[in-house]
Amino acid sequence: MTKLQVQFGPIGIYLFDQVLRGRIAPGMRILDMGCGPGRNLVYLLREGYEVFAADSEPAAIHAVRTVAASLAPALPASNLHREPIEATSFPDAFSDVVLSSAVLHFARDDAHFRAMLEGSWRVLKPGGLFFCRLASTIGIETQVKPLEGRRFLLPDGSERYLVDEAMLVALTRELRGQLLDPLKTTVVQNQRSMTTWVLRKLA
């Protein structure tokens, strides 16, 4: 394992870009909504950020606790919540940065998507950064098979709730957010399409 791998862990490259550009800086409170095993938290824990996380899966929270025990042993256990992000107990305007990485496309339907998105947005402070990566139809419109509503069968065989450009632009306005970057989409050949959606929450 290289020194870079040790320092940054398996952080997503698009989140790493936000760190490099100074948008996620020491002193900020970070909340990872749907944290999974904590792949995006290794660097942040190592560098002493104030980290919080939520996930409905017990195994995910256990994994993050294990990582934190090694990298940030002083992190309070109460910072990690085993709960669904649509019903999180974190208060309004709690965090400077909210991460939502490969989470929202697991929505069952429109109502579930809205609940997860609104739960994640609610806990973000005015002026805060919302970083979201989610599956979309962008660039693979002819390769996905409609199932029901916005749920599709992807070329890789998975079923996901998929957004598109028009929906993300409309949601940005509805949430009273500001796009910090143009929507950026990576098409993985004959598999899936992942879009990065980065917003500032307006006051």
**Percentage of the chain surpassing pLDDT 90?**
94
**Percentage of the chain surpassing pLDDT 70?**
100
Q: What is the pTM of this model?
A: 0.95
Domain with 123, as residue range(s), is 3-201
Per-residue pLDDT at 162 exceeds 90: yes
Contact 124, 65 (CB under 8 A): no
Single-letter amino acid code for the residue at 36: G
Instruction: State how far the Cα of 175 lies from the Cα of 101, in Å rounded to an integer.
Output: 18
- Residue 170 sits at φ, ψ, to 5 deg, of -65, -40
Give me the pLDDT at residue 27, please.
92
pLDDT in tens, 38-85: 999 999 999 999 999 999 999 999 999 999 999 999 999 999 999 999
Residue 139's nearest CA partner among 158, 155, 159, 150 is 155
- The total domain count for the chain is 1
Give the CATH number, domain containing residue 92.
3.40.50.150
Residue 37: pLDDT band by 50, 70, 90 thresholds? very high
Give me the pLDDT at residue 5, please.
79
Mean pLDDT, rounded, for 99-128: 98
Sheet bearing 145-148, strands edge to edge: 145-148, 151-153, 159-161
pLDDT in tens, 119-140: 999 999 999 999 999 999 999 9
